[in-house]
Structure 1
């Protein structure tokens, strides 16, 4: 066999071996559960950074690494997802921080198309909140294994057994605690590893900026130091054993059970245990199914899915980046790939690894890695890139918008900047941009899942594109997909308006409310009115 013939096999073996070292996961939660703080703490414990910042930091405390956007730092919330690549314990961790606020859940949905597992973060006092439930539904639909981290155990909260019962009763996921807290919520002493029985007492560091000090103790010493809190924890652990709440890898990977860990991200309590558990338990990248349902093995030639577009991360260069999850094969900087949507070649001269807003050139990448391709003007969210055998992965659907507003440029002399900015925000998925023959290109309709998306649009149009806009909100809260035959009839009805969606060309009809929609469906049963996605599942009728 010639050297040339050996190359694909050798590359495939290399890709498979490197894929086994990868762990690609997202952090999901309800707003204010501590998601970005946990992301920072994980990076700190992996020695990727030397000190942690908090979203609501004061004085010299900076914003978290993953919250790089100016608006995120100002408001103390995550607006857009962020990727962090971390080398740890002979593993490569690709950690994707996601927005927690429901208004930005579409961005989270895209990220969940690019990961192999997820950390579900719960507030110890609040438990399962509405947005957490919606995000878990997406994980369930995508068969993504979930690790649960009960956060803020250093603050007053609920009983641990009560939280476990809620997880099982409300989402049907069997909780299997890997460790157990000593001390009630608000009086966090330390953690017992359920497998080894080892106790680790935790000591706070000033401001939680560095790793928490951990003091191992044997059972005799722990009982002496912790007293009644130790006895209560032992009784609860015994109960867990009696009810069979032990980790089972098969049911975890099948999405039937969830390993549970306790901690507090801000003072860095329990984060080391979470990191070790992810390395040990989270699945490595595996074959991804294409549009025909066929799995593409990780050792196949390169293929990747574009799951996020982001412009202007670098204020100096004003570039546009496509975030690509490597699905198979080895990526080499400079290789010429094929864009599945158009069949055209796509050069990859400028490829980077990202760490929040920081980035550096990356020469090679493997399944599970996230690469950022710079100046990727031809790419869109959901696109596939491949080398060798053609492949196309399923597109990433858009959510059903519920808020609509007409955008107009404040300064007509800056219409070019206005148009460029609107198009850019559309391709990034910040909002969906709809156009109609009646309103024209100069007054596009912006469609959003939540009203905060409009605030992002205003801010970015003014500060990034130098084209301030005014928004006129429309009295619609439902959208349905229709067709060319139904459009003229719908357009003549009161309480409805037909527009086209710019990127995919779909026709959408906007309707005032669900009652008006029911009247239209009753009076015109032959019209096409198809529901869109809502939260990753079909929108209820």
Structure 2
């Protein structure tokens, strides 16, 4: 596919029933319907409009930025497939743009890669927002991010490892307790938030994680964000 093109294609597998172009479906978890008008079959750099598709077929839907990996599209909003298994990130790094004049393509490219799920971005409480904190299950994801930024957006980047090895999600009560300042967090233990605004806490070592859990048993820690 041509890397100069900036349109977005979501690949969807038809699991049951019949797909028809211009049909309206529900995106699981959302209340509104989505019209699937620009449907294509892709082969290399070529596209062919798809009017109908059947179970097992793969359809490329252009221009739907709201679709994410594992989403369910259905005519019946009661149908929801189990989400793809997720794992908490264990690698954290700051990503820098060394060329200020390339800020716009750097930001655009990073936002797109985060949207695709290549890496996750977190915020750290009281930290400057200019340098993004990226998180991944393994360091290879950072290499992929840097490669794609340069290959697809023409921008270079630099990594600076962050001091954390673990992130845990907090519930509302736990976040309020910790933000109140009555609990000593420990060295290099920081509060923050995930992309959805859910409160998190970062730990630099396994010992710091265990110690915090042992001394703050009333504060629940979760490996993944909890469904609301």
Relative to the length of structure 2, the TM-score reads 0.83
1:392 aligns with: 80
Which stretches in structure 1 are left out of the alignment for 5+ residues? 1-312, 534-541
RMSD: 2.5
- Residue 335 of structure 1 deviates from its aligned partner by 1.6
- Residue 405 of structure 1 deviates from its aligned partner by 0.3
1:360 aligns with: 48
Question: Deviations for 1:462-515, whole angstroms, at most 9, x for unmatched residues?
Answer: 23223322221012222222134334267843232222111x433322211212
CA contact (8 A) 2:26 2:77 kept: no
Larger Rg, first or second structure (1 or 2): 1
Could you say what secondary structure the match of 2:107 adopts?
Answer: helix
Distance 1:497 1:361 in 2: 50
CA contact (8 A) 2:167 2:200 kept: yes
- Residue 374 of structure 1 deviates from its aligned partner by 1.3
Distance 1:475 1:396 in 2: 29
- Residue 315 of structure 1 deviates from its aligned partner by 1.8
- Residue 363 of structure 1 deviates from its aligned partner by 2.2
CA contact (8 A) 1:381 1:427 kept: no
* Residue correspondences, number: 220
- Residue 446 of structure 1 deviates from its aligned partner by 0.6
CA contact (8 A) 2:125 2:190 kept: no
Relative to the length of structure 1, the TM-score reads 0.38
Higher helix content, 1 or 2 = 1
1:467 aligns with: 155
1:436 aligns with: 124
Written as runs of structure 1 = structure 2, the 5 A alignment for 1:503-514 is: 504-514=196-206
The more displaced of 362-371 and 490-499 is: 490-499
2:187 aligns with: 494
- Residue 389 of structure 1 deviates from its aligned partner by 5.4
- Residue 404 of structure 1 deviates from its aligned partner by 0.4
Which stretches in structure 2 are left out of the alignment for 5+ residues? none
CA contact (8 A) 1:380 1:428 kept: yes
Could you say what secondary structure the match of 2:95 adopts?
Answer: strand
Written as runs of structure 1 = structure 2, the 5 A alignment for 1:129-144 is: none
1:379 aligns with: 67
- Residue 429 of structure 1 deviates from its aligned partner by 0.8
Written as runs of structure 1 = structure 2, the 5 A alignment for 1:44-193 is: none
Distance 1:360 1:441 in 2: 42
Could you say what secondary structure the match of 2:30 adopts?
Answer: coil
Could you say what secondary structure the match of 2:145 adopts?
Answer: helix
1:457 aligns with: 145
